[in-house]
């Protein structure tokens, strides 16, 4: 599979979990992949090394997506190094769960700045290059929490819902230049968070998933890979849930 041959992709927060799976999938499809991280550089380097072992090509860029200037500089460096930028996966995100009446303002701010402002910073930087190229793919990793809400996650749900609205508005702006903008909303995925659940908690969640299992990061990556390809060229402004039917 090499339908993304010579495309350049940036995967923010690509050092683990869903981001890692997306980076590997894009790389195996032929893209040159920039894996970004804020702190976990060793983990990001491991992703790039795995890519290279599989015959792919990748780099690690370390910066905070919530920092406008640092993000703009990093994306300028990507274009200077590779000569183009074709695919942005806006995946970097954080959670600071708490009931609203107990939530500290800094917990609200850090989640909104990383998840939503980070998407603005990255998309703005990437769109400038994509507009010149007259081709691009921007894919946001949102969450079913942004579609249905979740108690104890007003900050996270607000940020993810904001990403959905941002996706739809930006899709209208960029469509005339052959740039699609879509979002993927994962449900319960096997990550560090779900692995920390007790067996009773897992069973309680599984009762609400028609497919009867948690998803894998690779399930999400497969959807992203499709949206990044030419096969999805007439799909824009959409939100696709990868949830095993949890949203039904």
Q: What is the pLDDT of residues 60-88, one digit of tens each?
A: 999 999 999 999 999 999 999 999 999 99
pLDDT at residue 197 greater than cutoff 90: no
Q: Among 156, 181, 183, 224, which one carries the catalytic annotation? A: 156
Tokens for 171, please give them.
């899709």
61 is an active site residue: no
pLDDT at residue 214 greater than cutoff 60: yes
Q: What is the mean pLDDT of the chain?
A: 94
Q: Which residues pair with 136 in a beta bridge?
A: 179
- DSSP class per residue in 144-207: THHHH--TT-HHHHHHHHHHHHHHHHHHHHHGGGTEEEEEEEE-SBSSHHHHTS-HHHHHHHHT
pLDDT digits (tens, 9 = 90+) for 136-182: 999 999 999 999 998 899 999 999 999 999 999 999 999 999 999 99
Q: Which residues contact 228 (CB under 8 A, 6 or more apart)?
A: 4, 7, 9, 26, 29, 31, 87, 89, 137, 139
Q: Which residues contact 84 (CB under 8 A, 6 or more apart)?
A: 8, 129, 133
**69 vs 192, which has greater pLDDT?**
69
Residue 195: Cβ-neighbour burial (10 angstroms; 0-12, 13-18, 19+): exposed
CA 198 to chain centre: 27
Assign 193 a pLDDT band (cuts: 50, 70, 90). low
Average pLDDT estimate for 212-223 = 95
Residue 138: name the closest of 124, 150, 149 by CA: 124
Distance between first and last Cα of the chain: 32
Q: Which residues contact 109 (CB under 8 A, 6 or more apart)?
A: none
Residue 234: Cβ-neighbour burial (10 angstroms; 0-12, 13-18, 19+): exposed
Alpha-carbon distance of 91 to 89, in angstroms, equals 6
The strand order across the sheet containing 239-242 reads: 57-62, 32-37, 8-11, 87-90, 136-141, 179-186, 239-242
Predicted TM-score of the model (pTM):
0.95
**198 vs 76, which has greater pLDDT?**
76
pLDDT at residue 205 greater than cutoff 80: yes
Are 204 and 238 within 8 A, CB to CB? no
Are 18 and 217 within 8 A, CB to CB? yes
Neighbours of 71 (CB within 10 A): 25
pLDDT at residue 204 in the model: 83
Assign 248 a pLDDT band (cuts: 50, 70, 90). confident
pLDDT digits (tens, 9 = 90+) for 82-136: 999 999 999 999 989 899 999 999 999 999 999 999 999 999 999 999 999 999 9
Number of H helices, E strands in the chain: 10, 7
């Amino acid at each position: 599979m090499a339908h993304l041959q010579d495309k350049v992709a940036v995967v923010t927060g690509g050092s683990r979990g869903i981001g890692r799976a997306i980076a590997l999938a894009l790389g195996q499809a032929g893209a040159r992949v920039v894996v970004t991280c804020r702190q976990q550089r060793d983990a990001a380097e491991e992703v790039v090394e795995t890519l290279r072992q599989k015959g792919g090509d990748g780099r690690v860029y370390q910066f905070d997506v919530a920092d406008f200037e640092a993000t703009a500089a990093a994306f300028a460096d990507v274009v200077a190094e590779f000569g183009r930028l074709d695919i942005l996966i806006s995946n970097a995100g954080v959670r600071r769960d708490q009931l609203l009446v107990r939530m500290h303002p800094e917990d609200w701010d850090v989640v909104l700045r990383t998840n939503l402002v980070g998407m603005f910073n990255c998309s703005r930087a990437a769109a400038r290059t994509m507009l010149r190229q007259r081709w691009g793919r921007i894919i946001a990793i949102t969450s079913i929490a942004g579609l249905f809400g979740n108690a104890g996650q007003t900050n996270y749900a607000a940020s993810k819902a904001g990403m959905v609205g941002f996706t739809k508005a930006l899709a209208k702006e960029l469509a005339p230049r052959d740039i699609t903008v879509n979002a993927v909303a994962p449900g319960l995925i096997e990550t560090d968070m779900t692995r920390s659940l007790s067996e009773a908690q897992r069973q309680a969640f599984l009762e609400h998933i028609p497919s009867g299992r948690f998803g894998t990061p690779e399930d999400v990556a497969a959807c992203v890979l499709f949206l990044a390809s030419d096969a999805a060229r007439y799909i824009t402004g959409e939100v696709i849930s990868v949830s095993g039917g949890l949203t039904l």
